């Protein structure tokens, strides 16, 4: 008997894995042909997406469901768990269903958050494969990204050491790269704060060009964003060549194509473009593909995974990173725009715990015991936090997508607290369901599954927040005021200068807008909870991801390389040397 109250997530996963379906059986149940399955062992495989899409192009798409959440506590509110639980619940009521989630980054896996496989009886398995590298997609991104930096730094060295004649002799032309205006750093898939700012090229002229540099976490790489939004390998190849690595001294972009490394970078990514097939604890198929963070990137699993799943299943459930102000907004205005897919329903996950925090509850910190305010009945505290739920609900309604509020029921929640959330949601004119998937799996998610099916039968009135013809400054204002609830926007002098240059460039001005902002508040300040009023969104920088097709406004103090905490998760991870099984993942 699997009991989440007494067992750790990895113990549940390990026990469930004894009864896993072989991946060949999963493929057969999905109706895949043998050549469309690319196995990586007995329980994981990649899918030949192009073969599947070509074969099934005439088949109508299934129902498209997105999962998002309210502003979370630092512990998270079970969005991945709810995604897995909803997939299990839809399976329990007889629907052919597929889920899609992002591949976890090594940074959070070995730091605080854990592997994002879900939890309790609503998990994606096999857990070890899922959490520790899977089929190598993130490694491929790391290598492709760093190859562009190898190309840049070696070119800088050659341009410094050789005159124009010497460069011509070596088949090169001078790009006149400005070492003080490099657009990206190196990447590694860990939270490594010591690598944020470094000096490279120490030594002689043969040891490279000495310059300031740094690292970002791999999931923030533009190549990860490209994997999430590319429609096929041809599209990926074209996007790879548009990545801006640096600028010349005259301010001209220096791209991977200019450096001659875009073809090799795509070669490193050629296998990674195929989605990975895993399963829930209850045996429903799950596609795991791409893994960008939502606070510093697009925060979505891949468009390719969604397109494949919609052809193979009657219902497809995909997850967006963090809360609706970040993950859902990017799903709505970026992913749906790039894919051309129209969702039928969005599930907004909330917890009593998070609502109490937004009502002014005590500080919640990873690794620290929860204050009793979160585990004992306190309806007035919860009611004060409902404004955060209602703000995110209004955002989903603004898109025209049918919302379903999912109360992710913890066993410590009081009936009166659940009733208060249900009453407020219904008063706001939205469907609501209580789900106990963490404790009871698919059986506990029946109400949620049935409510989602009902919502999917309604006619969507989907519309974007802005058109691509809308000036960047107006897009930023719309997102800040309509989604975050700000009164307006302010810019640093540097950001204002970049804004003017982008709006004056016909090509750049039509790219998508991918905001960078903390996930811990509707505002730019992670300490402000609830539904902040009377504030201004500060834009301190604007980045260009030309390959991915984004302009990236940066709000507040957000770093592309997180830091490792004093009590990281890697301390709990080990291997049973007698069996080779990994223990301690969560």
Catalytic residue numbers read 79, 81, 102, 113, 294, 322, 410, 438
- Give the rounded distance of the alpha carbon of 300 from its chain centre: 4
381's tokens: 């505290």
How many CB atoms sit inside 10 A of residue 418's CB? 17
Secondary structure of residue 159 in the 3-state scheme: helix
Alpha carbon 31 to chain centroid distance? 28
Nearest to 316 by CA among 290, 339, 291, 286: 286
Could you give the C-alpha distances from 508 to 256, 369, 478, 505, 548, in angstroms and in order?
A: 17, 48, 19, 5, 12
| Cα gap 469→476, rounded to integer Å | 13
Would you say 285 and 294 are in contact if contact means Cβ atoms under 8 Å apart?
no
Distance CA(77)–CA(284), nearest Å, equals 22
Q: Which two tokens stand for residue 397?
A: 């309604």
Contact 84, 286 (CB under 8 A): yes
- Rounded distance, CA 490 to CA 131, Å? 40
Give the span between the Cα atoms of 176 and 258, in whole angstroms: 12
For residue 97, what are the β-bridge partners? Answer: 315
**Residue matched to tokens 């700000």:** 486
**Number of Cβ atoms within 10 Å of the Cβ of 484:** 24
In angstroms, rounded to a whole number, what is the distance separating the alpha carbons of residues 275 and 544?
27
CA distance linking residue 289 with residue 304, whole number of Å: 8
């Amino acid at each position: 008997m699997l009991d989440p109250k007494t067992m750790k997530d990895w113990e549940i996963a390990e026990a469930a894995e004894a009864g896993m379906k072989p991946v060949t059986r999963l493929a057969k149940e999905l109706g895949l042909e043998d050549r469309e399955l690319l196995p990586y062992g007995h329980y994981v495989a990649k899918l030949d997406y192009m073969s599947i899409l070509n074969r099934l192009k005439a088949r109508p798409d299934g129902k498209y469901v997105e999962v998002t959440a309210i502003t979370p506590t630092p512990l998270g509110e079970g969005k991945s768990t709810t995604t897995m639980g909803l997939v299990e619940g839809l399976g329990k009521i007889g629907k052919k269903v597929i889920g899609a989630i992002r591949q976890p980054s090594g940074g959070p896996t070995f730091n605080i958050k854990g592997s994002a496989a879900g939890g309790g009886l609503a998990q994606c398995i096999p857990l070890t494969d899922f959490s520790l590298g899977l089929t190598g997609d993130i490694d491929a991104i790391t290598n492709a990204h760093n190859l562009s930096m190898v190309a840049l730094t070696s070119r800088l060295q050659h341009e410094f050491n050789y005159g124009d004649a010497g460069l011509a002799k070596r088949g090169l032309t001078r790009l006149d790269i400005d070492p003080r205006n490099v657009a990206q750093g190196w990447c590694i898939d860990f939270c490594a704060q010591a690598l944020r700012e470094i000096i490279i090229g120490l030594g002689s002229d043969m040891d490279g060009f000495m310059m300031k540099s740094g690292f970002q976490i791999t999931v923030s790489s533009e190549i990860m964003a490209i994997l999430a939004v590319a429609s096929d390998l041809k599209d990926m190849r074209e996007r790879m060549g548009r990545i801006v690595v640096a600028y010349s001294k005259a301010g001209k972009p220096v791209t991977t194509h200019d450096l001659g490394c875009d073809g090799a970078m795509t070669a490193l990514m050629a296998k990674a473009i195929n989605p990975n097939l895993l399963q829930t604890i209850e045996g429903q198929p799950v596609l795991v593909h791409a893994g960008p963070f939502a606070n510093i990137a697009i925060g979505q699993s891949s468009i390719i995974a969604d397109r494949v799943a919609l052809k193979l299943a009657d219902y497809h459930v995909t997850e967006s990173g963090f809360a609706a102000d970040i993950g859902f907004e990017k799903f709505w205005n970026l992913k749906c725009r790039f894919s051309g897919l129209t969702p039928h329903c969005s599930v907004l996950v909330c917890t009593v715990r998070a609502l109490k925090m937004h009502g002014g509850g005590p500080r919640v910190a990873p690794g620290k015991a929860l204050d009793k305010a979160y585990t004992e009945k306190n309806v007035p505290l919860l009611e004060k936090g409902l404004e955060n739920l209602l703000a995110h609900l209004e955002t989903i309604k603004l898109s025209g997508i049918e919302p379903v509020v999912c109360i992710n029921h913890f066993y410590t929640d009081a009936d009166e607290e659940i009733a208060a959330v249900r009453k407020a949601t219904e008063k706001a004119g939205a469907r609501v369901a209580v789900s106990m998937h963490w404790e009871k799996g698919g059986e506990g998610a029946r109400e949620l599954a049935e409510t989602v099916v009902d919502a999917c039968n309604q006619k969507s009135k989907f519309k974007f927040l802005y058109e691509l013809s809308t000036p960047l400054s107006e897009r930023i204002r719309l997102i800040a005021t309509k989604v975050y609830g700000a009164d307006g926007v302010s810019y640093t002098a540097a950001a204002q200068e970049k804004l003017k240059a982008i709006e004056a460039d016909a090509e750049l001005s039509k790219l998508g807008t991918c905001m960078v902002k903390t996930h811990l508040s509707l505002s730019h300040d992670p300490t402000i909870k609830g539904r902040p009023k009377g504030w201004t969104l500060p834009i301190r920088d604007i980045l260009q991801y030309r390959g991915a097709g984004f302009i990236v406004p940066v709000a507040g103090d957000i770093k592309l390389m997180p830091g490792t905490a004093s009590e990281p998760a890697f301390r709990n991870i080990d291997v049973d040397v007698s069996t080779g099984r990994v223990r301690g993942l969560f």
